[in-house]
Amino acid sequence: ESNNLALKGIAFANRHKGNHIIVSSIEHDCILNSCKWLSKQGFNITCLPVDSDGLIDVDELKNTINRDTILVSIMHANNEIGTIEPIEGIGNICSEHGIYFHTDACQSFGKVKIDVQQQNIDLLTINAHKIYGPKGVGALFIRKGVKIEPWQHGGGHEFGLRSATENIPGIVGLARAAQLCDEELESETARLTQLREKIIVNVLQNIPQAYVNGHRAQRLCNNVNFGFQGYEGEGIRLLLLLDDLGIAVSAGSACSANDAENKPSHVLSAIGHNPVEARGALRLSLGRYNTEQEVDYFLEVLPSVFRNLRPLSSLSLGG
């Protein structure tokens, strides 16, 4: 809801200035689908490509801006591959050109330091359940002076920007969760980074077919995303075998888990993978309650589970 309000609200409040919006090709579906809808309303959308690590090129962003550009929306960190984008550089470019900059920080909030002043962020999206707060509540930071059109009308709640009775318990839960994350940011980030690196190093050493999706270092402390060369067609079976052993992992974004068409991940496709590879990822998300003993257990059982898989060459099936 916050991402919808940011994009549509900025678009309609500023269409007298221009109709051009820039996003990246690896944004969350709520950004990309909002852009599809806005394109039907007469807005011009540019979807920037990313490199093989999932990073946008800030020079390409600068060259894409034109006199009709009113908004740039680039996520802080990707939900599938964990890559952290250079948002301070993006914010500086937008500030220099007098363009609003929005970032979807749902994945990074509570894991990466954010300074909306230093990074020139005009709008920033967060949610509660990513930081152990209640589900069904989020927030949109809007810098004072930003012109945004309300998308939901009613009794004028939230300073007229989002009418509807406020979810007070949810808001309190979000605030408390954010406070706890801020207090523990440094220590918890260091702990999760150590566990993440232990997983990556061990898996790459013990399974020659494994490779990492996303930037090797410039990534979220809690995110690991693997592909297995030649075994991409066994992705779901690998998930089920691990599930039988009490290990919960995923093949991609939870938000697309109900996709009946089983489409390849648009994120993995954007970083250069073929359709088979883009379906065969293994994503691990670490959290506050994960222990090193659990990581050791995963690393102990993964090689034996992997030996039960049947190789299937992605080269013969990829497009």
User: Catalytic site residues?
Assistant: 255
Between CA 59 and CA 273 the distance in angstroms is 24
Between CA 176 and CA 187 the distance in angstroms is 18
Q: Exposure string (b/e) for 114-151, b if CB count within 10 Å is 16 or more? A: bebeebbbbbbbbbbbbbebbeebbbbbbeeebebebb
DSSP-assigned letters across all residues of 242-255:
HHHTT---BSS-GG
Distance linking the first and last C-alpha atoms of the chain? 35
Amino acid at 2: S
DSSP 279: G
Question: Residue 141 — φ and ψ, nearest 5°?
Answer: -75, 130
Question: Residue 314 — φ and ψ, nearest 5°?
Answer: -75, -20
Q: How many CB atoms lie within 10 A of CB 158?
A: 12
Q: How far is CA 80 from the centre of its chain?
A: 6
Beta-carbon contacts of residue 179 (< 8 Å; ≥ 6 apart): none
Confirm if 40 and 201 have CB atoms less than 8 A apart: no
Confirm if 45 and 18 have CB atoms less than 8 A apart: no
Q: Where are the alpha helices (DSSP H) in the chain?
A: 2-13, 29-40, 58-64, 87-97, 168-206, 235-244, 266-270, 292-306, 314-317
Q: How many CB atoms lie within 10 A of CB 212?
A: 17
